[in-house]
């Protein structure tokens, strides 16, 4: 009986088979990767096309002039730029400002999709970036970076770096992540757009937005401060924003909502334009030696609309409360509605108020001005406006002006200027 020997593969044959399998696998993976990449680019191109369609439609009725306009237009249609990442690895959606179009750009800044010929000026290309680690490389290449912030922790990094950053999703602040602007030379611009900052978690005397140093611009948004604390007098106090002496602050198109005794405190030079303050009692408190300018501002209050006061101090020996510094609150235009049984809408408390225009109404039918007799400095100067439905030019007697302020005020009319003192 013969014994049959089983013949197997030699080592060389096995190596050849393995090599062939490896080559086939590599070709398949490369092909599959190429297919996936093309599919992702196709998907991103379709999204870029849809974004452009939305911008074109918006631009017809509401011209798009800035990145904030782009952000808000897309936000209104359900697109959050901060979360709108491309499926294609390393690519970006970019706003070409010169041509008002969205580009699809790869990591080497090569245009993969454009509606029309892109701008040759790199600065016209606005990269919406939510990963702050990528900012430096894009800026080094000469392009414009719009930092998109979605997390409170990222705000701290953006504040430290200065410059401009945007929020297009609503954030909730609590005591652990208050916004403290303390920049020395690095100006900061916070663009809220249609987003909101809710400060419901602030339950003591911490200020949710506190400007300690530098120049800060806040654009858009709704800032609410429902959190509160009870002060020594038993009053519920709520301050959504405070600016310190020596700072410069610009607030544009922003809405502030506060509860009882909630008010914005401006001790630094502050310009407010086209903002709204909804308050239970006091809306704007101008303090210290600052100049505070209100333009196109709407204030709805159940008490005081504005309160101009110098910094308050207490004499340790006598316990007497006094004020230092000369505050100047300038009202250029807007609508101011308020008043209660204690105060009229516009109150000077050791500070100076200049009224150049605006519409002022006491909902209780009383006066407009109160001088609290806090110091020798309190003065109200009026050169324009409408008061309880009566235009400035129609109020031409001292008695008519006295009727608009608290008892005991002194009125002087000279050269078209009305000066009210205690």
Q: What tens digit of pLDDT does each residue of 180-205 get?
A: 887 766 688 888 877 777 665 554 55
Ramachandran assignment for 137, one of left (phi > 0), alpha (psi -120 to 50 degrees), beta (any other)? alpha
Query: Looking at the chain, which residues constitute the CATH 2.160.20 domain(s)?
Result: 148-421
- From first to last of its 422 residues, what are the pLDDT tens digits of the chain? 555 555 666 776 677 777 777 776 666 555 556 767 788 888 999 999 999 999 999 999 989 998 888 988 888 888 888 778 888 888 999 999 999 999 999 989 999 999 999 999 999 999 988 888 888 899 999 999 998 887 777 887 787 777 888 887 777 776 667 788 877 666 888 888 777 776 655 545 567 788 888 899 999 888 875 555 555 666 656 678 888 888 899 999 998 887 666 688 898 899 999 999 998 888 998 987 789 999 999 999 988 999 988 755 555 666 665 555 678 999 999 999 998 888 899 999 878 899 999 999 999 888 999 988 655 678 999 999 999 999 999 999 999 999 999 877 899 999 999 999 98
> What crossing angle do the helices spanning 67-75 and 11-61 adopt, rounded to 10°?
100
Helix (H, G, I), strand (E, B) or coil at 71: helix
Cβ-contact 75, 193 below 8 angstroms: yes
What pTM did the predictor assign?
A: 0.78
Q: How far is CA 172 from the centre of its chain?
A: 14
**Are 411 and 383 in contact, with CB atoms under 8 Å apart?**
no
Please give the Cα distance from 287 to 141 (Å, whole number).
45
- CA 422, CA 417: separation in Å to the nearest integer? 17
Contact in structure between 49 and 113 (CB atoms under 8 Å): yes
**Fold exhibited by the domain 148-421:** Pectate Lyase C-like (2.160.20)
> Which residues have C-beta within 8 Å of that of residue 295, sequence separation ≥ 6?
271, 272, 273, 274, 332, 333, 334
């Amino acid at each position: 009986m013969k014994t049959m020997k089983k013949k197997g593969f030699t080592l060389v044959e096995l190596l050849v088979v393995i090599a062939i399998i490896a080559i086939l696998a590599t070709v398949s993976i490369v092909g599959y990767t190429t297919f996936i990449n093309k599919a992702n680019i196709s998907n991103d191109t379709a999204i870029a096309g849809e974004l452009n369609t939305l911008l074109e439609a918006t631009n017809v009725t509401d011209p798009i002039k800035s990145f904030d306009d782009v952000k808000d237009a897309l936000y209104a249609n359900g697109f959050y730029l901060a979360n709108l990442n491309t499926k294609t690895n390393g690519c970006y959606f970019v706003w070409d400002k010169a041509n008002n179009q969205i580009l699809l750009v790869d990591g080497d800044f090569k245009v993969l999709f454009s509606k029309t010929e892109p701008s040759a000026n790199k600065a016209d290309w606005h990269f919406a970036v939510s990963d702050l680690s990528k900012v430096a490389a894009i800026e080094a290449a000469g392009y414009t970076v719009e930092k998109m912030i979605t997390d409170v922790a990222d705000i701290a990094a953006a504040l430290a770096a200065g410059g401009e950053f945007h929020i297009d999703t609503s954030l909730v602040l609590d005591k652990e992540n208050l916004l403290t602007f303390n920049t020395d030379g690095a100006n900061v611009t916070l663009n809220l757009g249609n987003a909101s900052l809710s400060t419901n978690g602030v339950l003591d005397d911490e200020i949710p937005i506190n400007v300690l140093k530098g120049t800060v611009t806040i654009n858009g948004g709704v800032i609410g401060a429902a959190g509160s604390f009870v002060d020594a007098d038993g009053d519920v106090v709520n301050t959504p924003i405070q600016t310190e002496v020596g700072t410069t602050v610009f607030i544009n198109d922003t809405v502030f909502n506060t509860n009882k005794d909630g008010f914005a405190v401006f001790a630094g030079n502050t310009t407010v334009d086209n903002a709204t303050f909804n308050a239970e009692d006091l809306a704007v408190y101008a303090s210290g030696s600052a100049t505070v300018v209100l333009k196109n501002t709407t204030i709805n209050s159940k008490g005081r609309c504005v309160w101009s006061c110098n910094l308050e101090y207490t004499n340790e020996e006598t316990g007497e409360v006094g004020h230092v510094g000369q505050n100047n609150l300038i009202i250029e235009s807007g609508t101011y509605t308020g008043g209660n049984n204690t105060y009229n809408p516009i109150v000077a408390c050791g500070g100076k108020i200049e009224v150049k225009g605006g519409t002022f109404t006491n909902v209780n039918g009383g006066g407009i001005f109160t001088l609290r007799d806090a110091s020798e400095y309190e003065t109200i100067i009026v050169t324009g406006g409408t008061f309880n439905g009566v235009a400035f030019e129609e109020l031409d007697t001292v008695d008519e002006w006295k009727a608009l302020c608290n008892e005991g005020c002194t009125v002087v009319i000279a050269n078209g200027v009305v000066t009210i003192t205690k």
